[in-house]
Structure 1
Amino acid sequence: MSTNQGNSRRKSKIERVIENYGLDGFGDTLARRWTDPKDGDSLRDLADLMNQEVLNAVLRDADADVLNGEVENMYGLLTDDDTTEGMRVQAKNTLQSKGIDVDQLLTDFVSHQAVYTYLTDIRGVSKESKSTNRVDSVVQSIQKLRGRLVAVIERSLDSLRNTNKLQLGDFDVLVDTQVYCRDCGTQYEVIQLLKQGRCDCDTKTNSE
């Protein structure tokens, strides 16, 4: 490989991944979605989005039939902290059976720090500072975690049922997280509490 002395800057990981996986134009997508003044994506969301595009690219190159939602599900099995080791190994074996180098794939997954470095240092873009509703952000994080937990439980129960380790009919998984205030003795569902903005401490204090 020849080097150009006039342009010796080493490519960032994001640039290398975009080039190696044929993600032409994806740099523009990252910059546009991060700086959207109305609803810009977080750096972690952008890293997940890019990694799913990488996974989709290797599946496409392997001529694998990809169903709707399969890439997102497979990515979750490979990266989610809630995924059991057995399920992760099964996901890796599935990819390896399609001729995919899983170790290289995981190495090429990018972090939110890599996305930030690329956007600020390489693309020269910045996210406009704006007041954000911290409560809404926490609500979204909790809902996302709930969704991941429900998905993991559903997959685990399905696996046990399909291998005759569990007898279970058609089912739904419900996740209910309660917050109990020891001072005022009230209990709220966590999302309800966040949207309400307070427990009953002030109410009970004022009534005394």
Structure 2
Amino acid sequence: MNRQRRSKVERLLDEYGLDGLGDELVASWTAEGDDRKSLRQLATEFNVALVDARLESEGVTHFDSDGKAIYEALANDDAETDRATIETRLEREGVDVEQLQSDFVTYQAIRSYVKDVRDAEYETPSDEEHIEKQKTTIQRLVSRATSVTEEKLTRLRDTGRISLGDFRLIIDFQVYCRDCETQKTVASLLDEGGCECESEES
């Protein structure tokens, strides 16, 4: 694909010397599960990186606000007092605040970069993959609940607050469907694709 001009994100990556950030944007947008970040999150992270890079280029090392706090103040129209204070202090440090603000990008600019420039695509997980992921999450929660419960019971027993011998904790979540009167473990329900309602209707 021949493009006559570079996108804003491309230009800023070069101008600010943000090597590797472009790859990070693509990786974060196409990641799976909880590791995936939205375009708005990526736009914020990109703009914070611009602030950090500008401070570094101007040799500003003693600013008591980090890049994220500075960006939020400059981008928040509702916090005029905080923004004015930050702007004044930045200008004293030699930072061109107006130029910095004009360099901030929107989530649309990030979307254009990752999709049109980098040809990245986010593949939506299949139903099977989504179910398996949720099953894993539930299993982890059950394991955590088991561990915490065992720990609390052991502590109560060892401190003489309850009477309890050598014990084994059994946590077995069951799902009961009132419509088809089917009862299954959570794992079985997910593995078998649900209860018996659909088979009874067919």
**Structure 1 length-normalised TM:** 0.56
Instruction: Give the Cα separation in 2 of the matches to 1:125 and 1:115.
Output: 11
How far residue 81 of structure 1 moved from its aligned partner, in angstroms, is: 4.4
1:15 aligned residue (6, 10, 15): 10
Q: Which amino acid aligns with 1:28?
A: D
> Secondary structure in 2 aligned to 1:24?
coil
In structure 2, the CA distance between the partners of 1:69 and 1:117, relative to structure 1 (3 Å rule), is same
The question of 1:61 aligning with 2:57 is answered yes
Matches within 5 A, 1:163-182: none
In structure 2, the CA distance between the partners of 1:8 and 1:36, relative to structure 1 (3 Å rule), is closer
Counterpart in 2 of 1:119? 114
The question of 1:43 aligning with 2:39 is answered yes
How far residue 129 of structure 1 moved from its aligned partner, in angstroms, is: 2.3
How far residue 66 of structure 1 moved from its aligned partner, in angstroms, is: 5.0
Q: Which amino acid aligns with 1:17?
A: L
Alignment gaps of 5+ in structure 1: 1-6, 133-208
How far residue 9 of structure 1 moved from its aligned partner, in angstroms, is: 2.3
In structure 2, the CA distance between the partners of 1:69 and 1:33, relative to structure 1 (3 Å rule), is farther
Counterpart in 2 of 1:76? 72
Q: Deviations over 1:78-99 (max 9, x none)?
A: 113442x122111111111110
Instruction: Give the Cα separation in 2 of the matches to 1:70 and 1:24.
Output: 21
The question of 1:109 aligning with 2:110 is answered no
How far residue 72 of structure 1 moved from its aligned partner, in angstroms, is: 1.3
Q: After TM superposition, which residue ranges in structure 1, 4 or more long, deviate above 4 angstroms?
A: 66-69
Counterpart in 1 of 2:124? 129
Contact in 2 for aligned 1:78/1:91 (Cα 8 Å): yes
Instruction: Give the Cα separation in 2 of the matches to 1:87 and 1:79.
Output: 11
How far residue 67 of structure 1 moved from its aligned partner, in angstroms, is: 6.2
1:26 aligned residue (21, 26, 30): 21
In structure 2, the CA distance between the partners of 1:68 and 1:127, relative to structure 1 (3 Å rule), is farther
> Secondary structure in 1 aligned to 2:42?
helix
Alignment gaps of 5+ in structure 2: 131-202
> Secondary structure in 2 aligned to 1:74?
helix
In structure 2, the CA distance between the partners of 1:69 and 1:88, relative to structure 1 (3 Å rule), is closer
Identity between Structure 1 and Structure 2 (%):
37
Question: What is the alpha-carbon root mean square deviation over aligned residues?
Answer: 2.0
Instruction: Give the Cα separation in 1 of the matches to 2:124 and 2:92.
Output: 46
Greater C-alpha Rg: 2
Aligned length: 125
Instruction: Give the Cα separation in 2 of the matches to 1:26 and 1:66.
Output: 25
